[in-house]
Chain A
């Protein structure tokens, strides 16, 4: 994990983890690439088959190891490749957010959003927006 002097010296560059589902949001991220849409280089993507695969403990572990923000990107409601996995994700993230607020973790550090395979632009703007929000919050301190 970066120490404080490093952060001060180089200016704070948030490290953000994004979980993307194989069918919509990961394809949307690829489309941003094929369309050469430029966005903040702060996100690292982990591909899963469905956003429904994301166990809340994955997110907690990310914060534990010092990730500054976590994005969960799935298919739009109704468009899930696995019928309704994204609704299950939405319920889990809703619960997890309550827990995070009790732990004193800012709401903006975890974001659930939807990106279709056709939304390269939307993917890029979510990444930029998230990066700016986390930059404003500052590094996540355990």
Chain B
């Protein structure tokens, strides 16, 4: 008789799973699977109640394997593993079955088929769980220093936050000066204070901090290693320099879209972007009396479907500033929708209306048209509410364009092995649960590199990212997952196939009793398993994803 005792916990996730999949039926089915000695279903297995039930049932039923069928291991594996550990069960004896993200949520109209799929997935999970083995994790030291890529408001705030906690920071900026986008801004909503009053003191504090080493005109050329031990190559105008850091924060920002060819931008002299207008406002406006702004230029269109998020507020701010500068000036803001979320922004918008700024909604079917040859003289717009076309006199046309990702985001994402979103911005590990972390351990994200943000948001994200980066640095060590490869020396023929394939140079051939044998340095192994897939002798075992475990899952798929 087998000494494997499996306990299964099937989650309703409220209605998320239970509203589609017949959870009680699936739980009953689970009880019939080999080595399953206990099964229950919970409204929320991840709740305090669910977690304590797992702990309790482990001791009550002497469970030595636990399977949870619920959401996704990407967000909840750690939680359930910890519950097992708390009950004295090695956390690698836990197996996750995804019946929400990859089942109930994607087959909402087919409850029967979703239930059948859930049964199959649980059967496959149990097949693997029966073969799971306990694993021990090695401890790896963390270098107490951080590389911050990007010297804008987000990067500098993160650097200061880390340095003030006593950690060494390398702040790398590819431009000649620190400051980022804020160097080109005039005033900041909603207080309308000067941008330089925010950014200049911040630059000074960063430059004068003993713990921060500022590298301007410098790019990151290469990154090797992993959390705790990243080997970074910096390139300052052709001069290379190597540093070692424990963590990395990406704060590379974004850039303003130049709408070349749209509404005559580039051809006509009196068309500006909001960013160019900021410069004019800073130096002093001319005698333009009629100013028209068009929002959503290059945003929320099929090629670039996202909302720029802060552009509406930028347009309102500049409209207000023009009006305050010269109350006789007329300002029209042509928009598709106004995004003035929160109480402060909505108040700001109200204030703009009270000042006499006119907001006119246009639709993409009838976009505004420009009148004039070398210069814009008027703008024709179809007023949706009045149901007629209006002709607005125009001395200056301002186009509101979104922030767009830098072109070299792709290179950075590849270098760091982190993901980009479909729009080309950096993609966090989880939108809700891990908003400032990447899926790659030890690398964090803040500011416009992730999504267009205003200044307070960039600073809060910088604080969050740096706080997250402090965790491994303060503790001084990490325990990477024990998902690593090991060699069965009796089977190894010493062919060296694995040595050639390993992307981390973690395997070498060593002589033992006159025989060449593969030797794996566990601390260097990242657990991809490509060696295991290729070993012609079947001598390499990929812990937690062993051949036997995967084959058992495959075989359990069809009954």
> Are A and B physically bound partners?
yes
User: A41 near B557 (CB under 8 angstroms)?
Assistant: no
Does B528 sit within 8 A of A, measured CB to CB?
yes
The CA of A1 and the CA of B559, in the complex, are separated in Å by 5
User: A88 near B558 (CB under 8 angstroms)?
Assistant: no
Chain A residues with Cβ below 8 Å from B105 are: 33-34, 36
Q: What would 17 more interface pairs be, CB under 8 Å, given A67-B558, A116-B420?
A: A2-B558, A29-B101, A30-B98, A34-B105, A44-B120, A44-B121, A45-B121, A46-B553, A48-B550, A49-B528, A49-B529, A52-B533, A53-B542, A53-B545, A85-B503, A88-B530, A119-B422
The CA of A65 and the CA of B72, in the complex, are separated in Å by 27
The CA of A119 and the CA of B419, in the complex, are separated in Å by 11
- Taking a contact as CB atoms closer than 8 A, the residue among A26, A39, A44, A92 that contacts B106 in the complex is A39
- Taking a contact as CB atoms closer than 8 A, the residue among A23, A66, A92 that contacts B439 in the complex is A23
User: A53 near B532 (CB under 8 angstroms)?
Assistant: yes
Of the stretches B41-49, B108-116, B137-145, B374-382, the one at the interface is B108-116
Q: A49-B527, A85-B530 are contacts. A30–B419 as well, Cβ < 8 Å? A: no
Does A62 sit within 8 A of B, measured CB to CB?
yes
Chain A residues with Cβ below 8 Å from B534 are: 55, 88, 92
Whole-angstrom distance between the Cβ of B498 and the nearest chain A Cβ: 12
The CA of A30 and the CA of B101, in the complex, are separated in Å by 5
Which of B101, B107, B108, B113 neighbours the largest number of chain A CB atoms within 10 Å of its CB? B101
User: A41 near B113 (CB under 8 angstroms)?
Assistant: yes
Q: A44-B120, A118-B427 are contacts. A30–B72 as well, Cβ < 8 Å? A: yes
Please, what's the 1-or-0 string for B511-534, where 1 marks a CB less than 8 Å from any CB in chain A?
A: 000000000000000111110111
The CA of A2 and the CA of B120, in the complex, are separated in Å by 14
User: B100 near A79 (CB under 8 angstroms)?
Assistant: no
Whole-angstrom distance between the Cβ of B226 and the nearest chain A Cβ: 11
Chain B residues with Cβ below 8 Å from A33 are: 72, 100-102, 105-106
User: B417 near A81 (CB under 8 angstroms)?
Assistant: yes
Does B483 sit within 8 A of A, measured CB to CB?
yes
Q: Lowest 5 CB-CB distances: which A-B pairs, in order?
A: A33-B101, A53-B529, A52-B530, A82-B528, A50-B528
Chain B residues with Cβ below 8 Å from A1 are: 558-559
User: A65 near B533 (CB under 8 angstroms)?
Assistant: no
Does B495 sit within 8 A of A, measured CB to CB?
no
Q: A34-B101, A53-B542, A117-B419 are contacts. A92–B533 as well, Cβ < 8 Å? A: yes
User: A49 near B483 (CB under 8 angstroms)?
Assistant: yes
Selected A-B contacts with CB under 8 Å, 15 pairs: A2-B558, A17-B554, A30-B102, A33-B72, A33-B100, A36-B106, A41-B106, A46-B550, A47-B73, A56-B533, A65-B555, A78-B414, A81-B417, A82-B528, A116-B420
Does B117 sit within 8 A of A, measured CB to CB?
yes
Whole-angstrom distance between the Cβ of A87 and the nearest chain B Cβ: 10
Q: A82-B530, A118-B419 are contacts. A41–B121 as well, Cβ < 8 Å? A: no
Chain A residues with Cβ below 8 Å from B555 are: 61, 65
The CA of A79 and the CA of B420, in the complex, are separated in Å by 10
**Considering only CB atoms, which chain B residue lies closest to A84 in the complex?**
B503
User: B526 near A27 (CB under 8 angstroms)?
Assistant: no
Chain B residues with Cβ below 8 Å from A17 are: 554, 557
- In chain A, positions 1-35 with a C-beta closer than 8 Å to chain B are 1-2, 15, 17, 22-24, 26-27, 29-30, 32-34
User: B422 near A83 (CB under 8 angstroms)?
Assistant: no
- In chain B, positions 424-483 with a C-beta closer than 8 Å to chain A are 427, 431, 439-440, 483
Does B235 sit within 8 A of A, measured CB to CB?
no
Does B366 sit within 8 A of A, measured CB to CB?
no
Chain B residues with Cβ below 8 Å from A49 are: 483, 527-529, 545
User: B529 near A61 (CB under 8 angstroms)?
Assistant: no
Q: Show the binding face of A for B, using Cβ within 8 Å.
A: 1-2, 15, 17, 22-24, 26-27, 29-30, 32-34, 36-39, 41, 44-50, 52-58, 61-62, 65-67, 78-85, 88, 92, 116-119, 124
Whole-angstrom distance between the Cβ of B296 and the nearest chain A Cβ: 23
Which of A26, A67, A82 neighbours the largest number of chain B CB atoms within 10 Å of its CB? A82
The CA of A66 and the CA of B422, in the complex, are separated in Å by 36
User: A37 near B526 (CB under 8 angstroms)?
Assistant: no
**Considering only CB atoms, which chain B residue lies closest to A2 in the complex?**
B558
Chain B residues with Cβ below 8 Å from A44 are: 117, 120-121, 124, 557
The CA of A62 and the CA of B547, in the complex, are separated in Å by 13
Chain B residues with Cβ below 8 Å from A116 are: 419-420, 422
Chain A residues with Cβ below 8 Å from B108 are: 36, 38
The CA of A116 and the CA of B116, in the complex, are separated in Å by 27
Chain A residues with Cβ below 8 Å from B413 are: 79
The CA of A23 and the CA of B121, in the complex, are separated in Å by 20
Chain B residues with Cβ below 8 Å from A81 are: 417, 439-440, 528
The CA of A104 and the CA of B117, in the complex, are separated in Å by 29
Chain B residues with Cβ below 8 Å from A46 are: 124, 550, 553-554
Does B421 sit within 8 A of A, measured CB to CB?
yes
**Considering only CB atoms, which chain B residue lies closest to A116 in the complex?**
B419
Chain A residues with Cβ below 8 Å from B554 are: 17, 46, 58, 61-62, 65, 67
Whole-angstrom distance between the Cβ of A16 and the nearest chain B Cβ: 9
The CA of A53 and the CA of B351, in the complex, are separated in Å by 60
Chain A residues with Cβ below 8 Å from B431 are: 34
The CA of A49 and the CA of B557, in the complex, are separated in Å by 20
**Considering only CB atoms, which chain A residue lies closest to B107 in the complex?**
A41
Please, what's the 1-or-0 string for B391-435, where 1 marks a CB less than 8 Å from any CB in chain A?
A: 000000000000000000000011001011110000100010000
The CA of A66 and the CA of B120, in the complex, are separated in Å by 14
Q: A38-B107, A85-B528, A118-B419 are contacts. A61–B551 as well, Cβ < 8 Å? A: yes
The CA of A52 and the CA of B501, in the complex, are separated in Å by 10
The CA of A37 and the CA of B98, in the complex, are separated in Å by 16
User: B117 near A83 (CB under 8 angstroms)?
Assistant: no
Does B74 sit within 8 A of A, measured CB to CB?
yes
